[in-house]
Structure 1
Amino acid sequence: MLKFTSLGGAGTVTGSKHLLDHDGKRILIDCGLFQGLKNLRELNWQPLPIAPSSINAVVLTHAHLDHSGYLPKLVKDGFHGEIFATDATRDVAELILKDSGYLQEKDAEYANRKGFSKHKPALPLYGLHDAEHALERFSSIPFDKAVQLPAGATLMFRHAGHILGAATADIVWGGKRIIFSGDLGRYGDPVMPDPVPVPEADYIVIESTYGNRIHETGDPTEMLSSVIERTVQRGGTVVIPAFAVGRAQSLLYHLWQLKQAGRLASIPIFLDSPMAISATDLLHAHREDHRLSPEDCDTVCGLATYTRDVEGSKAITASPYPKVVISASGMATGGRILHHLKAFAPDQKNTILFSGFQAAGTRGRAMLQGAREIKIHGQWIPVKAEIADLPALSAHADSDELMRWLSGFNHAPARTFIVHGEAEAAEALRVRIGKDLGWNATVPRQDQAFDL
C-alpha cells in the first residue's frame, strides 16, 4: 500500500514536507522550514512525527528555504540517505543552506549579545557546518530523464519555471504515478522557462500560493518604473526586499529594460545581498535553465553595484541620495534588508516595494496590511515610507496559471491534493478544480495520511 502524508505545507504556505510510504520504505518530497507566524516557526523546533533515519531518500523540487531549509536539521537528526535534485537546485541550495546556517548562528549570537531573546542562551536551529553536512548528501540528476531511487521508485524532473533549477517531480512507486508540482512559475516570464506540461498522473500534489488570486495584467517594467520615478522625484530611496534567488535576478532584468530605454539613467542600483550576488553568478553557470542569451545575461548581471561586505552595506544606508536598493530576505524575516528598513522605513519620502508573496506573520505581510511600526532586533521601528506592492513581478503562478498547468494532463487523476497555500487560497483552488475540471480535490491537514 502506498501512503501520502503532508508533514508541512498543509494549510500553510511554508514548511513543505510531503511523505510517501510504501512497503516500509519512505521518500520525502521537499524539506522546508516553517516561516512567518510564531506558532508555525515553533514547529521547526518540534521533532518530526517520523524518525529522520527511517527516510530512504529526499526529492527536492527547488532550493527556496520553505522547501529546502529543514534539510540540515534532518541530516543533523539522523537522515543518512541521498537528496535528489537538479544540478542547478543543488548549486542554489548550497548558497541558501549555508546562508541559513550562518545567519542562524549570527542571529543567536546577536540576540545573546544584546539580550533581547527570552531564551538563555538563544541557540540556532542548525549552523553552517550542519548545512555543509547536508550538502554532502546531494545527488544531482538531469531534467527529463527517469532515474531509480534507492527505495525502488522512479523519479523524473521537468522544468517548473519559478527559479533556477526548479522542477516538478514525477514519481512512480507501487504501481502509482504521483506528480508533485513544487512551486510553479509564470507563463511567458522573460527570464525563466514556462512550466512543462505533464501528461499522466494517478495523483497530483499541487501548490496553491496564489490559488485565490489573479496577478494584475500590465507591463511589470512600467509598473516598476512608476514606483521608482515618483520616489526619486521626492528625493527618496526605493528599498526592495527580494528573494535572493529568482526575484533579485528578475528585478535586475526589468531594471535593465528601463536602462535600455534610457530611463533611470542617473539612478544608482545596489544589490546588497552576498547570496543574491552569488545566485546571479549562477545564471552564467546554468545558461540552459533560463531564457537569457549569453550577451543579455552578462549585461543584466552587470547592471547593479554589488555589495558583499558589511561596510559597503552601511555606506548604502548612510547615503542621502535617491537610489534603488535590492536586498534579502524577500519577506523581511532576516538578513541585511532589516538594517535598510530600520534606516529608510521611518521617512515618508522613501518607498518599500514588495514584489513577491508575503506569508502571514512576516514583516512584509504586516507592512502590506498597513502596519505603522514593525519590530526589528527588539526595537519598534516606525513605518512612514510609502508601501508599494507589485504582484505582477511575482515568480509564482496565479490561479489561472495553476489551472492551465492542471489542464495539461490527459486524464483526471484519482485525487488532487492541494498544499503549500494559506487556508483561503487552498480552499479556493479546491473549489475551482472541482467546478472547472470536475476533479476530486482535497486540502490535507498536517500529518493527515491518505492511502493511494
Structure 2
Amino acid sequence: MRVHFHGAAGEVTGSLHEVEAAGHRVLLDCGMIQGSPEAERRNTEAFPFEPAGLDALVISHVHIDHIGRVPLLVKRGFSGPIYTQEASADLMPVMLTDAASISEGDAERFNRYRRAGEPEAQPLFTRDDVRDAMALVRPLPYDTRTTILPGVDIAFREAGHILGSASVELWGDGRKLVFSGDLGPKGTPILRDPATIDRADLVIMESTYGDRLHRDRLETIRQFGEILDTAWNEGGTVLIPAFAVGRSQELLYWFARHWDEWNMARWRIFLDSPMAAKVVGIYDRHADLFDEDARRVWQDKPNPFRLPNLHFTASRDESMAINRIESGAIVIAGSGMANAGRILHHFRHRLGRRQTHVVFVGYQAEGTLGRRLVDGAKWVRIHGHDVRVNAQRHTVGGLSAHTDQHGLMAWYGAIGGDAGAAHPPLALVHGEDRAREALAGEIGEHFGVQARLARPGDTLEV
C-alpha cells in the first residue's frame, strides 16, 4: 500500500490524499483550497494525477475543504463510485449546489465588469456538474466494513465533527490505513463522540488545533451568554459567521438549551442562509445519529430548529431587510470564514458600528476575511468597498468543531500498532506548520513516535 499526499499537507484546506492498494487507486477526499485569492486560484490547476485513472473516491465529510472539487474531478474524467456516510450523502448536494451558485455568480460579476482584453471568467464548476457528480454517490452506514473494490475494504467510524462526519478505515494489501478526517471534541452538542479505533498500520491525522487547547466548554458558554447580554444592553446586533453544516445547528442548540438563562425570547434570530435551512431538515431526518443530551434538549426545551423567534431568510430581499433592524437581532450567516456568502453583506453594513458584536465560533484560515478581522484589522475591503471596522470582535474558541491538542493525542493514543508496536506510524495533515510541529513534538514525547509532517508530493509506503 502506498499513500500519496497532494493537498492539505502543510495547510488546513484542500484535502486530497491518494491511496494505492491491491492494484487500485482510491482518493480520500477532494476538497477546495480556501484562503487568499492567490490560494483559491490553485483550485483551477490540473490535479496531480489523472482523474480517469482513479477507481474510487471516499469522502470523510461534507465541508467544502473536503468535497469542494468533487464536481471538477468528475468534469475532468473521474467516473468511479463515490463513497460517503449516509447523512453526508444527503448533505453533499446541498453543499455543492451552493458552492456552484457562488462560483457561477462570481464569474458572472467578473465578466460584467471585466476590462477590455481580459479573458472571460469561468466558474470552477456548475450546478450541472454537481448533478453529474451526485449520480456517482454510494451511501454507506457507520460501522459496516464494505468491499468497494476487489481487495479493498473500507468502514466509516463516527468522527464527531459534523453530522455524517467519519474517520475512514481502509484495508488493502494486508495492511490497514486509518484516516481521521476532521475530529470533533468530546461532548460536542447534538453529535456523538468520536469512535475509538483499535489498530492501524498507518494513521493520517488532522492537526488543525495541534498547537492549542480549547477553553473549557462551560466557561465558553458563560462567555457567550455575557456577549449576548452586553450586545443587548448596548442596543446592538450580533453577527455570527458560521458554516451552514454543523456550527449553525449547534448555535441553535445552545440558544434552546439556555433559552431562559440567556433570555433568548427578547431577540430576533435570523438563520440567513438558504443552505442552512435545508440542512436543518436533513438533521431532522437523521436524528438517530444524535447523542443522548440532544435528545433530552429536544424533549425538555424549545426545539432548536423551531424556536418561536427564529426566522429563515430564503430570498436576497429578506436578507437585505435585516439591515433595516437597528438593534436586537442575532444574525447567523455563511460563510464560516467570511470569505463568501451573505455574511459579507451584513459586514459591509454593520462593521462600522461600535454596537455591532461579531462572534467568531470556528477556525479562520490564513488569508480569509475572518482571519484578518480576528487579527485586528482596522479596515477591510468588501465587495470593492473599504470598510472601517469599529465593531467589537469576540473569538469563542471553545465552540470549535475540531478537537484540540489533547483530544488529538487521546484519539491517536487509543490506536495500537501492528507487530507488537504500541502505536502506529503517523502522518500529520490538515494543519499549518506551527500547529503540526507542536503536535508532533507532544506525540514524540508521550508516545515515542516521530510523526511525519506530510508535504505535497510526499509518498509513504505502508
Please report the TM-score for the alignment, with normalisation by the length of structure 1. Answer: 0.96
What are the superposed Cα offsets for residues 181-237 of structure 1, whole Å, 9 maximum, x if unpaired?
A: 000011012211100000010000000000001001142332211111111211111
- Give how far 1:375 is off: 1.7
Q: How does 1:50-129 map to 2 (within 5 A)?
A: 50-115=49-114, 120-129=119-128
State the one-letter code of the partner of 1:226. E
Equivalent-residue separation in structure 1 for 2:408 and 2:455 (angstroms): 21
Partner of 1:428 in structure 2? Answer: 438
> 5 Å matches for 1:281-320?
281-291=281-291, 292-293=294-295, 295=299, 299-303=303-307, 304-320=310-326
Map 1:257-406 onto structure 2 (within 5 A).
Answer: 257-261=257-261, 263-291=263-291, 292-293=294-295, 295=299, 299-303=303-307, 304-406=310-412
Q: Is the 8 A contact 2:348 2:382 kept in 1?
A: yes
| Correspondence 1:142 to 2:146 | no
Shift of 1:23: 5.3
Contact 1:204 1:413 in 2 (8 A): no
Q: Secondary structure at the match of 2:245?
A: coil
Moved more, 441-450 or 291-300: 291-300
Does the 8 Å CA contact 2:154/2:168 hold for their aligned counterparts? yes
Q: By how many angstroms is 1:174 displaced?
A: 0.9
Question: How far off its partner does 1:240 sit?
Answer: 0.2
In structure 2, do the counterparts of structure 1 residues 234 and 109 end up closer, same or farther at CA, with 3 Å as the change threshold? same
Match of 2:172 in 1: 173
Residues of 2 paired with 1:402 and 1:319: CA distance?
Answer: 42
CA distance in 1, matches of 2:117, 2:366: 23
Q: Which runs of 4+ in 1 moved over 6 A?
A: none
**C-alpha distance in 2 between matches for 1:297 and 1:180:** 37
- Mapped to 2, the partners of 1:111 and 1:326 lie a distance apart of 27
Tell whether 2:459 aligns with 1:449.
yes
Tell me, in whole angstroms, the C-alpha distance in 1 between the residues paired with 2:147 and 2:253.
38
Query: For structure 1, which segment, 431-440 or 267-276, has the greater mean C-alpha deviation from structure 2 after superposition?
Result: 431-440
Which residue in the other structure is 1:250 paired with?
Answer: 250
The structure-2 alpha-carbon separation of the partners of 1:204 and 1:119, relative to structure 1 and needing over 3 Å to count, comes to farther
| Offset at residue 265 of structure 1 (A) | 2.4
Instruction: Specify the alignment match of 2:132 in structure 1.
Output: 133
The one-letter code matched in structure 2 to 1:302 is: R
1:142 Cα shift?
A: 0.8
Question: In 2, are the aligned partners of 1:160 and 1:184 still within 8 Å (CA)?
Answer: yes
Judged with a 3 Å threshold, the aligned counterparts in structure 2 of structure 1 residues 207 and 296 are, in CA distance, closer, same or farther, namely farther
Summarize the Cα distance change of 1:120–1:229 in structure 2 as closer, same or farther, 3 Å threshold. Answer: farther
- Deviation at residue 430 of structure 1 after TM alignment: 1.1
Report how far residue 267 of structure 1 moved.
Answer: 1.1
Instruction: Provide closer, same or farther for how the CA distance between residues 55 and 413 of structure 1 changes in structure 2, counting only shifts above 3 A.
Output: farther
Change (3 A) 1:116 1:153: farther
Aligned length: 451
**Deviation for aligned residue 1:349:** 1.1
402-411 vs 124-133, which moves further? 402-411
CA distance in 2, matches of 1:311, 1:252: 23
Which secondary structure does the structure 2 equivalent of 1:172 belong to? strand
CA distance in 1 between partners of 2:110 and 2:354 (Å): 29
TM-aligned CA distance change 1:361 to 1:320, over 3 Å: same
**Please, what is the CA RMSD of the aligned residues?**
1.7
- Give the Å deviation of 1:440: 2.9
CA distance in 2, matches of 1:402, 1:106: 38
The percent identity for this pair of structures is 36
**Cα distance in 2 for residues equivalent to 1:39 and 1:53:** 27
Separation in structure 1 between the aligned mates of residue 146 and residue 235 of structure 2, nearest angstrom: 56
Q: Which moved more, 1:150-159 or 1:290-299?
A: 290-299
Gaps of 5+ in 2: none
Q: 1:360 to 1:18 in 2, by over 3 A?
A: same
CA deviation map 1:29-73 (0-9, x unaligned): 011000003342122111011110011001101000000111000
CA displacement 1:149-198 (0-9 Å, x = unmatched): 12531101110001000010000111110000000011012211100000
**CA shift digits 1:98-117 (9 cap, x unpaired):** 11011110121123234499
Q: Which blocks of at least 5 consecutive residues in structure 1 are unaligned?
A: none
- Deviation at 1:120? 3.4
How many angstroms apart in 2 are the aligned matches of 1:109 and 1:318?
28
SS in 2 for 1:67: helix
Q: Give the 3 Å change call, closer, same or farther, for CA 81–297 of structure 1 in structure 2.
A: farther
- How far, CA to CA, are the matches of 2:231 and 2:262 in structure 1? 18
Distance 1:116 1:395, change over 3 A: farther
Asked if structure 2 preserves the Cα contact closer than 8 Å seen for 1:284 and 1:297, the reply is no
> d(CA) in 1 for partners of 2:96 and 2:323?
27
- Residue 255 of structure 1 aligns with an amino acid whose one-letter code is F
Change (3 A) 1:169 1:118: farther
Q: CA deviation at 1:264?
A: 2.9
SS at the partner of 1:168? strand
What is the distance in 2 between the residues matched to 1:70 and 1:376? 25
SS at structure 1 position matched to 2:33: coil
Q: Provide the TM-score with structure 2 as the length reference.
A: 0.94
SS in 2 for 1:305: strand
Q: For 1:413 and 1:117, how far apart are their aligned partners in 2?
A: 60
What is the one-letter code of the residue matched to 1:352?
V
Whether the aligned pair in 1 keeps the contact of 2:256 and 2:302 (CA below 8 Å) is no
